[in-house]
């Protein structure tokens, strides 16, 4: 059975979800109470509230015994720091060179897009290397710059070889 919590009208249709009088959502309830599981079950006991561990009438500091009279060294918990490589904002060109080099090698073969990306990887890589050489304490990312130059250069060499073999094959046929 279901009952409307607003007008308390009861409905026997279990498929009905809303009151036909006021449109309120119906709540389900049992027509008769469920039978007890066992007649000899003991009644449920409610436990007392949790005990108070520091009542206000206790002294603030416990009396010191012989072994507690030495002043203990306070323990300072160390904070947690994330583990990983922190990227400094001064390696932007080196990271751009690496990204352009990877882009030239992966999507550069489509529509010859690598002919734009590979030279850009070479240029940004060489600029990053020159900045790192001038001021190594300020600029970082030498490995990223070298990888971008290497990948961009490999793409250009492979593309030129592929183009040369294509031209040679068309001449021979």
Catalogue the E-assigned strands of the chain.
2-3, 10-11, 27-28
> Is residue 70's pLDDT more than 60?
no
* Predicted local confidence at residue 20, as pLDDT: 85
Contact between residue 20 and residue 6 where contact means Cβ atoms under 8 Å apart: no
* Predicted local confidence at residue 95, as pLDDT: 94
Paired tokens of 29: 């309830």
Higher pLDDT, 47 or 1: 1
Residue 9 phi, psi (nearest 5): -80, 135
**Which H/E stretch holds residue 11?**
strand 10-11
Tokens 């010859």 -> residue: 112
Polymer length of the chain: 173
Helix 92-106 × helix 114-134 angle, to 10°: 160
Closest to 119 (Cα-Cα) out of 90, 92, 159: 159
Higher pLDDT, 123 or 138: 123
Domain layout of the chain by residue ranges: 1-32, 90-172
> Is residue 87's pLDDT more than 60?
no
Paired tokens of 77: 């918990």
% of the chain exceeding 70 in pLDDT: 66
């Amino acid at each position: 059975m279901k009952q409307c919590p607003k007008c308390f009208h009861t409905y026997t249709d279990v498929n009905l979800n809303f009151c036909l009088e006021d449109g309120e959502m119906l709540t389900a309830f049992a027509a008769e109470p469920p039978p007890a599981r066992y007649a000899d079950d003991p009644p449920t006991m409610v436990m007392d509230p949790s005990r108070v561990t520091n009542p206000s009438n206790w002294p603030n500091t416990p009396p010191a015994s012989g072994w507690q009279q030495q002043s203990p060294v306070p323990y300072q918990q160390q904070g947690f720091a994330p583990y990983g490589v922190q990227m400094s904002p001064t390696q932007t060109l080196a990271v751009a060179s690496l990204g352009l080099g990877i882009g030239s090698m992966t999507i550069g073969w489509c529509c010859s897009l690598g002919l734009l990306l590979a030279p850009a990887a070479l240029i940004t890589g060489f600029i990053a290397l020159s900045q790192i050489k001038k001021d190594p304490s300020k600029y970082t990312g030498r490995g990223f710059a070298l990888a971008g130059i290497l990948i961009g250069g490999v793409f250009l060499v492979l593309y030129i070889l592929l183009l040369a073999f294509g031209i040679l094959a068309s001449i021979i046929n």
